[in-house]
Amino acid sequence: MTRSAMRAFKAAFLGATIAGTSFFGPALANDGLLALQDDPKQWTMQLGDYAGIRYSELEEINAANVKNLQVAWTFSTGVLRGHEGSPLVVGDVMYVHTPFPNIVYALDLNDDGRILWRYTPQQNPEVIGVMCCDTVYRGLAYADGVLFLHQADTTLVALDAKTGDVKWSVVNGDPAKGETNTTTVLPVKDKVIVGISGGEYGVRGHVTAYNVSDGSMAWRAYSTGPDDEMLVDPEKTTVLGKPIGANSSLESWEGDQWKIGGGTTWGWFTYDPEADLVYYGTGNPSTWNPSQRPGDNKWSMTIMARDPDTGVARWFYQKTPHDEWDYDGINENLLVDQEIDGVERKLLVNFDRNGFGYTLDRLTGELLVAEKYDPAVNWATHVDMDPASATYGRPQVVAEFSTEQNGEDVNSTGICPAALGSKDQQPTTFSPRTGLFYVPTNHVCMDYEPFRVSYTAGQPYVGATLAMYPAPDSHGGMGNFIAWDATEGKIVWSLPERFSVWSGAMATAGDIVFYGTLEGYLKAVDAKTGEELYRFKTPSGIIGNVMTYEHKGKQYIGVLSGVGGWAGIGLAAGLTNANDGLGAVGGYAALSDYTALGGQLTVFALPAAN
C-alpha cells in the first residue's frame, strides 16, 4: 500500500473526520492542529492525534529491519524523578519537557539538537510535597504556534513556540489545597481543555476550558455537585441512553462529602471533530475508605462526553460506582471506527484501571462490550450487559473482595487488580492495519485495609493501607503487554513482563509496536504475532511514551527514560573499607553528582546503509 493510499485508509478509518472538518464553517484554532496530525512526519500531540490512537503511518522502520535500529542521538534533561509523556516534533523543532520544575527545551533538528531556547518556570517547591505520585508531567501540547505548558503548581502557560516567550498564563488550582497538575492539555477549536490532579487530597475534580487567545476562562465543569456546576442538562445529558435526571450527583453522596469527593481529571483528553465531543475520565472518589462515603459517588469513575464550546455534557458512563479499591477512571479513551455485528460503529475504547476493557458507542454512550483484559481480575465477576436489568452497566462485585462489605479496619486480601489498576495512565496504541489495541498492563494484586480519616485542606486524605504483589498463580511477573480485540472483548496475544509496563505504546505502518520497560528496554514487537524483534537498554527505566517522526527523509523513534532512582549498585561495593576511602557519606554525595544527569531522551534510527 502506498503512503497516500495508507493515509486515505486512515482518514476513512477515523470516520473521515479530518476531511470533514473544513466544511464546518469559520476557521478555528484546531484546523492547524488537525492538518499537522495528518502529516506523519511530525508528532504534534502526546497521544499522536485527536483520536488518541498513537499510530504513525511512517514505515521506513518496519518488521523486517527494526532489528538494525541504532541510537542516533541522546539528550539529557538534567532533571531527576520520573519522566512521563513524550517530546513533540513540530516542523524542524523538537520540544522536550521535564518533570518538576517543568523545564521546556526547544531543540533544533537541523543542527544536531542544539538548544534554540529553554523556559524554566519558577515554582514553589512546596508543591512537590502535595503530589501523591511523583513529580511527573505527561507533556506539552501545541496549536497554531503556541506551546501549552501546564506546570505542577497548576499554572497554565502559553509559550510562543518560536521564541519561548510567555504570551499569557493563568492559574487553574491551588496547591495549598492539594490541587496540582500532572497531565497534558488538549487544544480544541479556540479553547484549551485542562484537568486537575489531587484525588488523594480531597480535591473536587473539574475540567476547565480557557480561551487560546488570552487565557480567560470559558467554562468549568465539576465532576460532582449541583447540575449547574457539573454542566449537565437533566433532560438532554444521558446515562446509558436515558436522561440523567435532576441532582444525579447530590443524591449519590451522603451530606456534603461531594465537596471533598475527588473525581479529579488527571488523565487524557481525546476529541472527535465530527461529533464535536471531548472525552475524558474522572478519578477515584475521596477518601479511599468507602465506608465514609455511602452511595454511588457520582460522577467519580466516569467517562464523560462534553461539547467543547459550552462544556455541557452529552453523556456519562460510570464504570465503578462507589469505588472500594481506588480504581481511578482516568485512562485514555481511544476513538476508532470498527465493525461490530456487521455494522460499522463509531467507538470509544477504554482500558480502565478496574481491569475491564470497555467498548462504547461514542456518540450515544451505549455500552457495547465490557470484558476483563487481564484474566487475574477478580473483584467483579462481570459487567451486567442486560439493558432490562436493574443493574445494567454495573460491575457485579464479589463479596470476598469488597472492602466496603468487609468493613473498616479489616484487611481484604487477594484483590485483583491492585489500586494501580490492570492499567494506569500509560497510553495504549491502536493499529488500523491489524484492528488491534496494544495495551501496557499491570499484573498485580493487593491487600486493602480501609480506615477512617478526617479532612484537612492540603493534607493527604487517603484512608487505606495497601500491600501489592504480582498476581498469584501466574507467570510471576508484574506485567503483561497484550493485544486486544475491542469488538469481541478478547485478548489476542499476551507477552509476560517481569515488571509492570508503565510506558506508553506506539504502533506504526511498519507493522511493529514499540513500548518501554522498567528495566530500561525499548522493545519492538511484531504487531500481528507479538514476537520480539528488537530490544535496546537505555540508561534508566522507561515510563515515558514512545513517539516517532521523520526528518530530512529519515524516520526516528524517541523515548524518555528516567524513573527517578538510579540503583547505584556499584556504590554498595567495598563499603567494608569505607573508613579508608571516601566512605559512605562521600559515596552518596558522589551519587547525587552522578544522578544529576537525570532523565534522558534517546532517539533511534536505522543505520545509513540500511
Partner 1 sequence: MRRFALLSAALAALGASPAGAVGTLNDYPTEARVEYVFGCMAVNGQTPDALRRCSCSVDVIAEILPYDDYVAAETVLGMRLAAGERATLFRGTPAATHLAAPLRRAQAEAEIVCF
Binding of partner 1 by 573 (CB under 8 A): yes
**DSSP string for residues in 189-228:** TTEEEE--B-GGGT---EEEEEETTT--EEEEEESSSSHH
- Candidates 326, 328, 374, 511; catalytic one: 326
C-alpha cell at 56: 504513525
Q: Does 476 bind partner 1 (CB under 8 A)?
A: yes
Helix (H) or strand (E) holding 21, with range, is helix 17-21
User: Grid coordinates in use for 144?
Assistant: 497554531
Please answer whether residues 381 and 398 qualify as being in contact, where contact means their C-beta atoms are separated by less than 8 angstroms.
Answer: yes
* CA–CA dist 17, 275 (Å, integer): 9
Q: CB count, 10 Å around CB of 122?
A: 8
Any contact of residue 152 with partner 1 (CB under 8 A)? Answer: no
For residues 516-535, which are near partner 1 according to CB under 8 A?
518-520
Residue 581 binds partner 1, judged by CB under 8 A: yes
Q: Which of 103, 303, 383, 478 binds partner 1 (CB under 8 A)?
A: 478
Angle ∠(470,475,480) on CA atoms, nearest 5 = 75
Q: Name the minimum Å distance from CB 580 to partner 1.
A: 8
Residues whose CB falls within 8 Å of the CB of residue 565, separated by 6 or more in sequence, listed in order = none
CB closer to partner 1 out of 2 and 577: 577
170 binds partner 1 (CB under 8 A): no
Q: Which one of residues 137, 279, 502, 556 is an interface residue with partner 1 (CB under 8 A)? A: 502
Comparing CB distances to partner 1, the nearer of 226 and 476 is 476
Beta bridge mates, 442: 479
Closest C-alpha among 609, 493, 515, 610 to residue 559 = 515
The runs of H, that is alpha helices, within 359-464 are 403-406
Of 365, 587, 598, 599, the one binding partner 1 (CB under 8 A) is: 587
Q: Where does this chain touch partner 1 (CB under 8 A) — which range of 29-37, 134-142, 296-304, 389-397?
A: 134-142
Whether 326 is catalytic: yes
Indicate the residue among 110 and 592 with the shorter CB distance to partner 1: 592
The CA-based diameter of the chain, rounded to the nearest angstrom, is 78
Beta strand segments in 230-295, E? 238-239, 242-243, 270-272, 277-281
List the one residue from 85, 187, 311, 470 that touches partner 1 (CB under 8 A).
470
Judged by beta carbon, residue 340 or residue 571, the one nearer partner 1 is 571
What is the rounded CA–CA span in Å between residue 71 and residue 264? 39
Taking CB under 8 A as the rule, does residue 499 contact partner 1?
yes
Identify which range of 164-172, 229-237, 406-414, 460-468 contacts partner 1 by CB under 8 A: 460-468
Choose which of 400, 572, 596, 607 interacts with partner 1 (CB under 8 A): 572
Count of residues that bind partner 1 according to CB under 8 A: 56
Which residues contribute to the site for partner 1 (CB under 8 A)?
81-82, 131-136, 418-420, 424, 444, 466-470, 476, 478, 498-500, 502, 518-520, 537, 540-541, 563-578, 581-584, 586-587, 590-591, 593-594
